[in-house]
């Protein structure tokens, strides 16, 4: 591209005098001056044409450029050619006989036509040359820096002429200057584009010098960080530092930059207003020709919103939506971490398994909305009763887990559990209802009671059951014996499901007598489980399992159907009619309960008035109003209801008045010590008096001695049941008793 060098190449054509050299150099100088002054390209090209024309009198200059997409030449600049001429020239296809310019571009060689009217290359353009009075036309290809021909520079003359050496130099110089001017234009355009991109890109950009001093930032940088260029110019990008990244972080950062020439990753920086934000940062070294770092270019994207969204998602995945406490998944993670930490540091940790007492009844009787709100309140209280570093999670339903790390003494866990229970003691109000919530807590300790997540959870769960069994609102530590009971329970549960299908249950009947005349008036149905391996299992062991697993409904249905069938068969045999008393678990008092009973009566044909259900007081009170509604529906069917185990619960007399019952069964624990124990005597007396005052029949159960019977007769107790009068007996045995009546 060095024009001065190019000039010498044409020495073969002859010499130019110093004056002509001067002329050429001065043309170059003025054009370069124009470029330096940032004159517009079109103006510079025009000036070049004028300057060339001035050096060849009676001529016009033209610059044609090759349009690569259309494969033809167009006039770029020709200030002395009229518009009609330009219109004629535009669209010229390069070729071997394409005038001077078309041929020069086609061959890449200069074309000097002395006479356009005779030259074969102008054959097709005779009209044109005549019209514009053209005689000679010299054209020089314009080459870009990579040596491709991009157009032509031509001098067209109105006389027949042969170029001399100076003219060739003039054409050559002008063509080179055009190339330079156009390349500058291209470069400028690219720079302009780059600068538009720089300012409009969404990513913040920082350019520093080799000494890491900021020399340029873009608009997005200002938008993101709040810093203007003036705030940060010549400062180290450290001004953005949040102080949250560790020295190791920066160590790695510089190590990567120096080794690989780039680094990218997340970094927390600080905006001008002090706010910390997370950005995705890419830093690249820009090297100079010697391979030394000349600049660092950093591109930063504000990803704090992305981070927030990510955080939200993580929170959702790890938290329970109802209570906003961490969920089981999160807890397991934390427990795993805590376990590996504890094993490394040889520390203890404690796991609390917490279950709210009687919560199910709230849900059943007051609905899920109240239940949910209550759970939220309780969660808040639980959360408040713990220390910051303790982890609490909702395990599901009304169960919660608490992780306590760094335990010195298991007693600490006891204190924490006590503290939780104490905090729960404050009544909670939901929908204007006051709730007194209590919780049973089971505790397992690492490594004493297990070294894995699962064993610790299982053992804390077992301890919780133990706590429940000991009466609600208790705390129990795990002991190895618990595993046995839990295992026994678990296996019993599986056996129980099978037992229902394989007829391992039978029914016993225990007679009930009129106290005044000794007449058999009823029989209580008592279920028996004959376990194929373990023999007879008492109902006190399997009824609670049936209740917890929900299998009580199926079992209860079977009991009622079987008993009604049996009793109806006895009736049809003409045997003595009596009241059939069946124990009903409150868990059976579902919405469809009365409906199911009606169907059983229908299919067995047993009359409703001979059927009676025994229901326990304490359980009924916990079940709430829905269960009580069902009792009314049962009563409406004509079925009798009696209150079992009376005296052990806490129902008030006024409540009793509002229940649809006709009979009280005095709990056998009061009967056991009469007439010796004056306390029990007093209680029994008052229950009988109370029952009668409420116009209820009173039955005493657990009558084992004559004294007890005599006492109850004297006190005007209506009915008696107990071993003294008759043990629970199989259907055949009971049929024999009926036959004797
Ligand atoms: P419960 O309803 O209080 O049943 C009376 C229990 O007292 C029966 O025990 C019976 O065998 C026992 N018993 C009867 N007379 C005497 C006596 O003179 N002295 C003593 N010490 N005990 C006597 P069982 O059959 O073991 O039943 C225990 C509990 O299991 C029952 O208490 C009842 O709550 C439940 N249960 C039994 N059968 C069924 C049933 O078919 N359905 C439901 N839901 N629960 C049942
Ligand atoms: Ca009973
Ligand atoms: Ca009872």
At 666, is the secondary structure helix, strand, or coil? strand
Looking at ligand 1, which residue's alpha carbon is closest to its atom 45? Answer: 583
- Ligand closest to Cα of 581 equals 2
Residue-wise pLDDT for 262-301, tens only, equals 999 999 999 999 999 999 999 999 999 899 999 999 999 8
Give average pLDDT by consecutive 10-residue segment, the chain, 741 residues. Answer: 43 68 91 90 96 94 95 96 93 95 96 95 92 93 93 95 92 95 89 87 92 94 96 94 92 92 92 93 92 93 82 80 89 93 92 90 81 92 91 93 91 91 87 86 93 93 88 84 68 81 92 96 96 88 83 92 97 96 89 89 96 82 74 94 80 68 90 86 86 90 96 96 97 95 82
Q: Which two tokens stand for residue 489?
A: 């329970």
Residues 6+ apart with CB under 8 A from 647: 666, 667, 669, 670, 683, 687
At 92, is the secondary structure helix, strand, or coil? strand
Looking at ligand 1, which residue's alpha carbon is closest to its atom 21? Answer: 702
What domains can be seen in the chain, in order of their start residue?
A: 3-193 (3.30.450.40), 201-302 (3.30.450.20), 312-482 (3.30.70.270), 490-740 (3.20.20.450)
Residue-wise pLDDT for 673-730, tens only, equals 898 888 788 888 888 988 888 889 999 999 999 999 999 999 999 999 999 999 999 9
Relative to the CA of 543, which ligand 1 atom is closest?
A: 45
Looking at ligand 1, which residue's alpha carbon is closest to its atom 20? Answer: 702
Relative to the CA of 724, which ligand 1 atom is closest?
A: 18
Kindly compute the dihedral angle of the four CA atoms of residues 613, 619, 624, 629, in this order, to the nearest 10 degrees.
Answer: 0
- Ligand closest to Cα of 614 equals 2
Res 7: pLDDT: 44
Length of the chain: 741
Res 592: pLDDT: 83
Q: Which two tokens stand for residue 70?
A: 């259309």
Res 658: pLDDT: 75
* Residues lying with their CB under 5 A of ligand 3, a single-atom ion: 644-645
The residue to mutate among 537, 539, 616, 700, having the most atoms of ligand 1 within 8 angstroms of its beta carbon, is: 539
455 vs 446: CA distance, rounded Å: 10
Ligand 1 site residues (CB inside 6 A) read: 510, 525-527, 538-540, 543, 559, 583, 585, 614, 644-645, 668, 702-704, 722-723, 728
The residue to mutate among 526, 647, 709, having the most atoms of ligand 1 within 8 angstroms of its beta carbon, is: 526
Q: What is the DSSP string of 422-449?
A: HHHTS-EEETTEEE---EEEEEEEETTT
Alpha carbon distances (Å) from 665 to 76, 125, 397, 563, 645: 116, 130, 35, 20, 6
Res 14: pLDDT: 61
719 vs 711: CA distance, rounded Å: 12
Relative to the CA of 552, which ligand 1 atom is closest?
A: 44
Looking at ligand 1, which residue's alpha carbon is closest to its atom 19? Answer: 702
245 vs 239: CA distance, rounded Å: 14
214 vs 232: CA distance, rounded Å: 7
At 527, is the secondary structure helix, strand, or coil? strand
Cα 196 to chain centroid distance, Å, stands at 40
CA 645 to ligand 3 centroid distance, Å: 4
Residues 6+ apart with CB under 8 A from 118: none
Output the furthest CA–CA distance in the chain (Å, rounded). 159
Residue-wise pLDDT for 581-637, tens only, equals 999 988 888 778 888 999 999 999 999 999 999 998 766 666 667 778 889 999 999
- What is the DSSP secondary structure assignment for residue 287, as one 8-state letter? E
Nearest alpha-carbon partner for 464 in 383, 332, 355: 355
């Amino acid at each position: 591209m060095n024009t001065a060098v190019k000039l010498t190449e044409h020495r073969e054509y002859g010499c130019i005098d110093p004056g002509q050299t001067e002329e050429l150099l001065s043309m170059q100088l003025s054009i370069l001056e124009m470029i330096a002054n940032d004159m517009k390209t079109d103006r510079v090209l025009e000036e070049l044409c004028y300057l060339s024309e001035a050096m060849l009198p009676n001529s016009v200059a033209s610059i044609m450029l090759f349009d690569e997409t259309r494969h033809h030449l167009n006039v770029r600049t020709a200030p002395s050619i009229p518009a009609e001429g330009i219109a004629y020239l535009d669209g010229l296809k390069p070729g071997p006989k394409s005038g001077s310019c078309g041929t020069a571009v086609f061959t890449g060689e200069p074309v000097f036509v002395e006479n356009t009217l005779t030259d074969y290359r102008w054959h097709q353009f005779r009209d044109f040359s005549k019209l514009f009075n053209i005689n000679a036309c010299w054209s020089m290809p314009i080459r870009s820096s990579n040596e491709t021909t991009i157009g032509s520079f031509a001098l067209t003359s109105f006389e027949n002429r042969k170029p001399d050496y100076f003219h060739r130099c003039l054409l050559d110089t002008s063509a080179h200057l055009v190339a330079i001017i156009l390349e500058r234009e291209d470069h400028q355009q690219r720079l302009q584009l780059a600068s538009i991109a720089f300012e409009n890109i969404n990513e913040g950009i920082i350019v520093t010098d080799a000494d890491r001093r900021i020399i340029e930032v873009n608009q997005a940088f200002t938008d993101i960080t709040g810093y203007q260029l003036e705030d940060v110019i010549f400062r180290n990008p450290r001004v953005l530092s949040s102080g949250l990244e560790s020295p190791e972080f920066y160590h790695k950062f510089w190590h990567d930059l120096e080794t690989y020439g780039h680094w990218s990753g997340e970094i927390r920086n600080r905006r001008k207003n002090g706010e910390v934000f997370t950005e995705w940062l890419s830093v690249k070294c820009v090297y100079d020709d010697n391979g030394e770092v000349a600049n660092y270019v950093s591109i930063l994207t504000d990803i704090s919103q992305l981070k927030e969204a990510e955080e939200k998602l993580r929170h959702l995945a790890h938290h329970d939506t109802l209570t906003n406490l961490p969920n089981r998944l999160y807890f397991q993670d934390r427990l795993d971490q805590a376990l590996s930490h504890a094993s490394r540091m040889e520390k203890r940790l404690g796991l609390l398994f917490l279950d709210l007492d009687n919560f199910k009844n709230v849900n059943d009787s007051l609905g899920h909305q109240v239940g949910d709100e209550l759970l939220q309140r309780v969660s808040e209280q639980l959360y408040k009763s713990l220390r910051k570093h303790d982890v609490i999670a909702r395990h599901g339903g009304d169960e919660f887990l608490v992780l306590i790390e760094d335990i010195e003494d298991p007693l600490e866990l006891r204190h924490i559990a006590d503290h939780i229970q104490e905090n729960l003691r404050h009544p909670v109000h939901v929908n204007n209802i006051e709730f007194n919530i209590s919780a049973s807590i089971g505790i397992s300790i690492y490594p004493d009671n297990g070294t894995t997540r699962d064993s610790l959870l299982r053992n804390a769960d077992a301890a919780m059951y133990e706590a429940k069994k000991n009466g609600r609102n208790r705390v129990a530590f795990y002991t190895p014996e618990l595993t046995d009971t839990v295992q026994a329970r678990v296996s019993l549960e599986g056996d129980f499901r099978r037992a229902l299908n394989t007829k391992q249950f039978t029914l016993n009947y225990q007679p009930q007598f009129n106290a005044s005349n000794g007449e058999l008036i009823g029989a209580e149905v008592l279920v028996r489980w004959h376990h194929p391996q373990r023999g007879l299992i008492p109902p006190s062991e399997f009824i609670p399992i049936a209740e917890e697993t929900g299998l009580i409904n199926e079992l209860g249905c079977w009991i009622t159907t079987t008993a009604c069938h049996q009793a109806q068969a006895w009736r049809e045999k003409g045997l003595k009619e009596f009241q059939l008393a069946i124990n009903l678990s409150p868990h059976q008092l579902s919405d469809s309960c009365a409906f199911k009973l009606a169907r059983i009566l229908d299919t067995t044909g047993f009359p409703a008035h001979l059927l009676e259900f025994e229901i326990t007081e304490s359980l009924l009170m916990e079940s709430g109003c829905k269960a009580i509604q069902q009792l009314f529906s049962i009563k409406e069917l004509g079925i009798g209801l009696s209150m079992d185990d009376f005296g052990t619960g806490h129902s008030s007399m006024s409540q009793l008045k509002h229940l649809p019952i006709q009979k009280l069964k005095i709990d056998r624990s009061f009967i056991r010590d009469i007439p010796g124990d004056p306390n029990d005597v007093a209680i029994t007396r008052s229950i009988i008096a109370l029952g009668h005052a409420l116009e209820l029949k009173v039955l005493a159960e657990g009558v084992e001695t004559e004294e007890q019977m005599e006492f109850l007769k004297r006190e005007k107790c209506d009915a008696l049941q107990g071993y003294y009068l008759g043990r629970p007996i199989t259907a055949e045995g009971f049929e024999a008793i009926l036959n004797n009546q």
